[in-house]
Chains A and B, each alone.
Chain A
C-alpha cells in the first residue's frame, strides 16, 4: 500500500513516514508541488497526504490536478491553517479528509488506514485480528464469530487502537479522538480509563485474548 506525503517541512514528513512505515505502508515524500505532480503522474497511490501551504504554491492545486487526472481518491489535507474556508474548499474539491496541524500521528494513522480500508475492500469492510473481527459497515464486533455488545465509544476506541496496531497510542490522542474535533478535551483521563476497563472486560468475557496493553504513563498499545 503506497502513501504519498506532500509536506514541505522535512522533519515532519520524516516523522510521518517513520510512523506509517510501522504499519508496513510504502511511503514516498514530495516537498514541493512540482515534485508531487511528477510523482502523481507516474505512480498510483492509495492515500495522498497534502499540506496546503507549500513553498511553490497552494496544495489545493494538487487536488485539482488529481481531479483532472481522475486519480482522486484517498486524499487527506493536512494544514496548519485551520480555517473553515480551506476545509470546505478542500472537501468540495474532492478531498476525503481534513486534519488540522498539529495532529497526533496515531490520529493520522487511523485516518490513513480508514481511507485505505475503504479503498481496498470496497464494501465488505472487515478487519480481522485472530479471533477478533470488526465489521466497519455494520459497526459490529465479533469474537470467534460471536457478537459482543460494545457502546459507540468502546467501538471507536477499539478501532482507533486497531488502526494503530503495534504502536503506542497516547492518552491525549485517545481523548481527542473520542471527544471529536470541537469538544473541549478535559485534563483528566478518567473517562478513557472507564471505557478501557469496560472494553477489556467485554473482550475478555467473550474469550478474546488480552491484546490491549497499558503502557505506563503514556497510553495503550494493541499488540497482535
Chain B
C-alpha cells in the first residue's frame, strides 16, 4: 500500500469515526441548549403574563386578552395545589400542517384571586430538521477537511517524501560488487538526513566486509591451492621413481586423497563465491542446448554404466535468464549425481519446461530427503562431493 493511501485511509477512518460519534453528541447538546433557551423564554412569557394580568380586571378583559394572545391558554384550575411543570408535547400545528413538538409550560396562576391553569406553548423546530441540519453541516465540513487532507498530503508526499523515494531508488539499484559507493541526496528534513547517513554508513561497512570477505576467498584459495599444487607436483615426481608395489599403492591412494582435497577446496571456494554473490551477470541461455551439451560431457560414464538418457522438452526451446557459469555447474552437478547413483543399465529421464527441470534416475530414494540441501550429507561413502554439490542446487 502506498504511503499516501495509507495515511489518507487512516485520516478517513478517523474522520468517519468522529462524524458518527459527534453527530448524536451535537444533537443532544444543541437540543438541550435549545430546550433550555425555550424554557427560559416560556418563563419570561409567564412573568410578562403575570405582569400584564394585573391590568385584567374583569372576565371580559381576560377573554379579550386570551383572544389576542393565542399562546396563553387559561383554564380554571380545579386543584390550586398543582405544581408548575415544563414538558414537550406533540400536537397538530395548523400553520405547518403537520404534527410538531411544542414546548409546554403549565403553571397555576391566580387572576383576581381565582385560580387558573396557565398553559404556554411554543412550537419547537422539529428535531428531524435539526439532525438533518447538523448532519449536512458536519458532512460538508468533513468533505472540506478530507479534501484538504488529501491535497496537503499529496503536496507533502511530493515535496517532503521526494528524498525518501530517491534514496529508495538508489538503494534498489545499488550493487555491492559493482558500485563504488552509494550517492544519496541531502534532504533538509532531519530524519531523511539521518537515514541517508545511516545508509551510507551501512553501505560502506558492508562494502568493507564484502571486500575483506572477497579478499579472504582469494587468499584462502591461493594459500590452500599452492601447497596442494606442491603436494600434487611432488607426488607426480615420486611416481616417476622406482617403486615397490606396496609403495605404489600407498602413493596412489595419497594421490587420490590429494585430488579430493583439491576438488573439495574448489567446491568450497565456489560456494563462498556464490554466497558472496559474485555471479551476478545474467544472460539469456539456451536451456535445452546446455543440457544436451552437458550430457555429452558425461558420455564416458553413461556408456560405462550402460545408461539410457531420455530427453523430454514438451515446450520446445527453453530460454533461461541466468548466470551461465552457475547454470552449467548446477546442471552438471545434477546430471553427475543422477549418473553416479543410477543403477547400471537403467534409464535417466530429463524433462525440461520453462519453469522446471527434472532429472530423474531410477536409484533408491533418499533416507532423509529433508537434509538433501545441507552441506556434507551424502548417501554413500563419497559424502563431500555430493554434499557440497547439492548445496549449490538450492541457490
Contacts and interface: CB of A to CB of B under 8 A. Distances in A.
Interface stretch (A15-23, A55-63, A202-210): A15-23
A10 to B, nearest CB: 10
| Chain A, interface residues (CB within 8 Å), range | 35 or more
Given A82-B266, A170-B239, A185-B263, A179 B297 contact: yes
B240 interface: yes
A144 B17 CA distance: 104
Contacts of A19: 233, 236-237, 240
A94 to B, nearest CB: 23
A101 B232 CA distance: 10
A145 B377 CA distance: 54
Q: Which of B218, B229, B234 has most chain A Cβ within 10 Å? A: B229
A171 B232 CA distance: 13
A176 B263 CA distance: 11
Interface in A1-58: 9, 11-12, 15-16, 18-19, 22, 53
Interface string A151-172: 0010000000000000110111
A82 B268 CA distance: 13
A218 interface: yes
Contacts of A100: 225
Contacts of A178: 300
Contact of B222 (A16, A81, A182): A81
Interface in B239-282: 239-240, 243, 245, 248-249, 251-252, 255-256, 258-259, 262-263, 266, 269
Is chain A's binding surface mostly helix, strand, loop or mixed? mixed
Given A80-B225, A101-B229, A217-B248, 6 more contacts: A53-B222, A102-B233, A182-B332, A184-B332, A186-B340, A194-B304
Interface of B: 218, 221-222, 225-226, 228-237, 239-240, 243, 245, 248-249, 251-252, 255-256, 258-259, 262-263, 266, 269, 297-298, 300-301, 303-304, 325, 328-329, 332-333, 336, 340, 382, 385, 389
Interface of A: 9, 11-12, 15-16, 18-19, 22, 53, 80-84, 100-106, 153, 167-168, 170-173, 176, 178-180, 182-188, 190-191, 194-195, 215-219
